[in-house]
């Protein structure tokens, strides 16, 4: 368990809140563990008809905890990597998934949105996937889902250059359903969740299953995970993590 994920159940809605605002909701192994367990348990919980994911503080999440990336690369973090279970659970979930996003959604903060069925963005939302900047590769099935959603050219640019995409662009490209003023974000997500919770859950699950292909996604996730793990142990990645810790820009040109 970790206090960094808050879990609430109300009127058929399961709300999972990233609650580590002092670290911009950077996701740790323990947080992924709770998220994975919650998504898996929801599959057989009749009281979890809809799932909302959100973040406390000024941003949705700054993505994976970069310190943990560095610890894994140094062999200092042993044991099960719950991120893999979380990503699989996202890909296999039959419950409608809603995300309410304010501020930044970095890395997996953006790629998890591709698994969500409804994405509500605050007008200050900024999505980015700076995996290559960290000398890694995109994950969570995003190498399949992002090109499908926004086209290869835009997806490659987003992955390779790591630039941020604002809320309006994300809406225009079909990553999000709507953009609302920041102070309306959680009310809007709650309103949509309440509407979905009243619909026939079996019909929603079947609709979602027809629209998604968990088997293909899981195969892509496995391929990405293999590359990702290998990348963590490269000199390029070590330079990226060191640069983050030292609050400087990485210099990949000096890496042989
Ligand atoms: N992993 C670990 N710690 C993180 C983090 C992350 N992904 N994102 C933020 N933090 C920590 C910072 O180190 C800082 O800790 P400190 O107060 O102990 O120094 C604290 O959270 C606040 O972050 P800060 O960088 O000061 O906030 P900001 O508003 O200026 O910038 C971001 C926010 C998200 C732009 C910036 O923190 C960032 O780029 N984070 C890394 C994002 C990333 O590369 N994620 C992985 C993607 S694969």
The atom of ligand 1 lying closest to the CA of 66 is: 1
Q: Is the CB of 57 under 6 A from ligand 1?
A: no
What percentage of the chain carries pLDDT values higher than 70? 100
Residue 196 lies in a domain: no
Residue 249 lies in a domain: no
Residue 232 lies in a domain: no
Indicate the top mutation candidate among 32, 62, 77, 242 to test ligand 1's pocket, ranked by most ligand atoms within 8 A of CB: 62
Facing residues of 127 across strands?
105, 165
Residue 90 lies in a domain: yes
| Cα separation, 243 vs 254, whole angstroms | 13
Tally the domains of the chain.
Answer: 1
Q: Domain of residue 132: give its range.
A: 5-181
pLDDT digits (tens, 9 = 90+) for 157-202: 999 999 999 999 999 999 999 999 999 999 999 999 999 999 999 9
| Cα separation, 117 vs 107, whole angstroms | 18
- Give the model's pLDDT for residue 211: 95
State the pLDDT confidence band at 73, using cuts at 50, 70 and 90: confident
Residue 31 lies in a domain: yes
Q: Is the CB of 107 under 6 A from ligand 1?
A: yes
Whether the pLDDT of residue 256 is over 90: the answer is: no
Dihedral angle sign, alpha carbons of residues 15, 204, 100, 164:
positive
Place of tokens 């700054």: 62
Residue 190 lies in a domain: no
Residue 195 lies in a domain: no
| CATH number of the CATH domain containing 123 | 3.90.226.10
Residue 77 lies in a domain: yes
pLDDT digits (tens, 9 = 90+) for 17-47: 999 999 999 999 999 999 999 999 999 999 9
């Amino acid at each position: 368990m970790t206090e960094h994920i808050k879990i609430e159940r109300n009127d058929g809605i399961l709300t999972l809140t990233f609650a580590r605002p002092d670290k911009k909701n950077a996701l740790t192994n323990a947080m992924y563990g709770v998220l994975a367990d919650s998504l898996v348990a929801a599959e057989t919980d009749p009281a979890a008809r809809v799932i909302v994911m959100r973040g406390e503080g000024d941003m949705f999440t700054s993505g994976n905890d970069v310190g943990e990336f560095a610890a894994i690369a140094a062999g200092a973090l042993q044991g099960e990597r719950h991120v893999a279970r979380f990503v699989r659970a996202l890909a296999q979930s039959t419950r409608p998934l809603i995300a309410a996003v304010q501020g930044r959604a970095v890395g997996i903060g953006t790629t998890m949105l591709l698994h969500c069925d409804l994405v509500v963005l605050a007008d200050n939302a900024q999505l980015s996937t700076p995996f290559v900047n960290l000398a890694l590769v995109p994950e969570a099935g995003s190498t399949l889902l992002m090109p499908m959603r926004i086209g290869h050219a835009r997806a490659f640019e987003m992955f390779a250059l790591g630039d941020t995409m604002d809320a309006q662009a994300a809406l225009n490209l079909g990553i999000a359903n709507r953009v609302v003023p920041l102070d309306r974000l959680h009310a809007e997500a709650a309103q949509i969740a309440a509407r979905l919770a009243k619909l026939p859950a079996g019909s929603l699950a079947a609709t979602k299953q027809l629209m998604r292909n968990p088997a293909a996604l899981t195969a892509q996730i496995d391929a990405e995970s293999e590359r990702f793990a290998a990348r963590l142990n490269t000199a390029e990645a070590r330079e990226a993590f060191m640069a983050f810790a030292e609050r400087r820009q990485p210099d990949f040109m000096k890496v042989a």
